[in-house]
Amino acid sequence: MDRSLLGYLYSRYSMAKSKLVDSCIFCKIVKKEAGATILYQDDQVTAFRDTHPVAPTHILIIPNKHIESLNELLDDDKTLIGHMFVIARQIATQEEIHEGGYRIIVNTGPDGGQTVFHLHLHLIGGQRMRHPLG
């Protein structure tokens, strides 16, 4: 493909992506431009309470950088994803649900039930979980 066309397409892609990030509610929470009950934040991840909890404990753990879903995950994100799980474990202990147990869910895409398109782990606990999942 012609280099100038590639450059043009890339600049359109970058513009569209930055618009998406600007309007993303979870990006706004990371930047403290939108309110949330933040339980933990470092340079890679943020954890906050879900506004519509489905159990006594319902916390979302997100990467600070905008990743739309698991489908957009790169090999370079392996450490970040590992860190998200370590923080989930840490918060489960903090919330005192670690002994009883808890559930981690990552909804992906419309069929997966994803409604906010910024990758997140749901950490859910404080009650006995029911089956089936689907």
**Contact yes or no for 85/39 (Cβ under 8 A):** no
**Alpha-carbon torsion 90, 103, 125, 32, what sign?**
positive
Q: Is 115 in the site for ligand AMP (CB under 6 A)?
A: yes
Q: Is 50 in the site for ligand AMP (CB under 6 A)?
A: yes
Pairing relation of β-strands 38-41 and 121-125?
unpaired
Rounded to a whole number of angstroms, the minimum distance from the CB of residue 85 to ligand AMP is 17
Rounded to a whole number of angstroms, the minimum distance from the CB of residue 98 to ligand AMP is 21
Catalytic positions:
120
Q: Is 69 in the site for ligand AMP (CB under 6 A)?
A: no
**Contact yes or no for 103/125 (Cβ under 8 A):** yes
Sheet of 121-125, strands arranged across: 38-41, 45-49, 57-63, 121-125, 102-105
Q: Is 44 in the site for ligand AMP (CB under 6 A)?
A: no
Q: Is 24 in the site for ligand AMP (CB under 6 A)?
A: no
The binding site for ligand AMP (CB under 6 A) comprises 25, 36, 48, 50-52, 60, 107, 113-116
